């Protein structure tokens, strides 16, 4: 049995579907059983648990032999770094005495030691804690999610605009959740002794201008990029409902992404879903 944290999100659901397609048994962990109904209809079991409830989460882990670990995003109105470090600690604590024989964890390109750079520092902490415990762990360092652009569909359709903090021609490694799910499913089914660090990105690297063009192609209209100047990044996050501390962390994460271009030390695994295909499917579904 494979246990999937964040199974109702973009990547977790993709991993679940990939495993079910292979005939593998899957239990999806969620706080809202209703959100897991489509996956249950495909054959997944559902466990309702809060990640911060260590005993309950350990009990779910004990139902399986392998687990996919996704640290849930915190409410942006909170101190997201502090909240997400709490959930990392809870997940690691729940692994103790769980009986799992292997885990696969989702991290991010550019993960590094430090503070106040959002996922880049929080997920590095997850990596380090996994290295310090006994269960064999494979870690996926994922490129920038194509699904991070989902919210831009509305403005692209209504106004012909994609708003972004990235410079219009800044080239960024991106990946579709489906490709990450496929990678996670493969790693979960590999022998426990086969583990380590894996980089996954899409078939090409893309810019915000490419995103606008992909939306334009999907919508049949011209779509342009509007980039927010660096000095307004933090206030932009605050205007979206982020707390001052969360806005600081997300602005710093954006700054690191733009200024410290991350290149994997080894050749990354490349997914099959292009940006154009992703946006066309998104626009068709939306």
How does strand 196-201 pair with strand 66-69?
A: unpaired
**Three-state SS at 164:** strand
pLDDT by residue (tens digit) across 212-268? 999 999 999 999 999 999 999 999 999 999 999 999 999 999 999 999 988 888 889
**Annotated domain spans of the chain:** 2-144+174-203+261-272
Q: Are 1 and 98 in contact (CB under 8 A)?
A: no
Sign, CA dihedral 30-34-35-41, equals: positive
Q: Phi and psi dihedrals of 190, rounded to 5?
A: -80, 160
Task: Decide yes or no: CATH 3.40.50.720 for domain 2-144+174-203+261-272.
Answer: yes
More confident site: 174 or 116: 174
DSSP string, 17-62: HHHHHTT--EEEEES-GGGGHHHHHTT-EEEE--TT-HHHHHHHHT
Which tokens hold the place of 112?
């590094």
Q: Report DSSP state, residue 161.
A: E
**Three-state SS at 219:** helix
The pLDDT of residue 286 is 57
The pLDDT of residue 266 is 85
For residue 71, CA distances in Å to 51, 80, 95, 182, 285 come to 9, 12, 13, 18, 27
């Amino acid at each position: 049995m494979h246990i999937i944290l964040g199974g109702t999100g973009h990547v977790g659901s993709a991993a679940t579907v990939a495993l079910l397609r292979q005939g593998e048994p899957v239990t999806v962990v969620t706080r809202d059983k209703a959100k897991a109904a489509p996956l249950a209809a495909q054959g997944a079991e559902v466990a309702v648990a809060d990640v911060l409830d260590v005993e309950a989460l350990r009990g779910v882990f004990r139902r399986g032999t392998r687990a996919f670990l996704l640290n849930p995003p915190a409410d942006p109105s909170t101190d997201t770094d502090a909240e997400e470090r709490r959930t990392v600690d809870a997940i690691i604590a729940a692994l103790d005495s769980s009986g799992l024989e292997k885990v696969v964890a989702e991290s991010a390109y550019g993960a590094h030691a430090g503070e106040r750079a959002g996922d880049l520092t929080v997920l590095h902490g997850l990596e380090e804690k996994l290295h310090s415990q006994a269960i064999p762990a494979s870690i996926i360092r994922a490129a920038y999610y194509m699904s991070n652009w989902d919210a831009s569909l509305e403005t692209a359709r209504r106004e012909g605009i994609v708003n972004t903090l990235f410079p219009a021609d800044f080239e960024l490694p991106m990946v579709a959740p489906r490709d990450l799910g496929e990678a996670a499913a493969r790693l979960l089914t590999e022998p426990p002794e086969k583990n380590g660090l894996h980089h996954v990105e899409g078939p090409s690297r893309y810019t915000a201008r490419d995103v606008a063009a992909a939306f334009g192609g999907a919508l049949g209209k011209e779509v342009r990029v509007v980039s927010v100047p660096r000095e307004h990044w933090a206030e932009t996050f605050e205007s979206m409902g982020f707390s001052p501390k969360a806005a600081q962390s997300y602005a710093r994460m954006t700054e690191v992404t733009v200024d410290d271009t991350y290149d994997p030390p080894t050749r990354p695994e490349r997914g099959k879903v292009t940006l154009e295909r992703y946006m066309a499917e998104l626009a068709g579904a939306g």
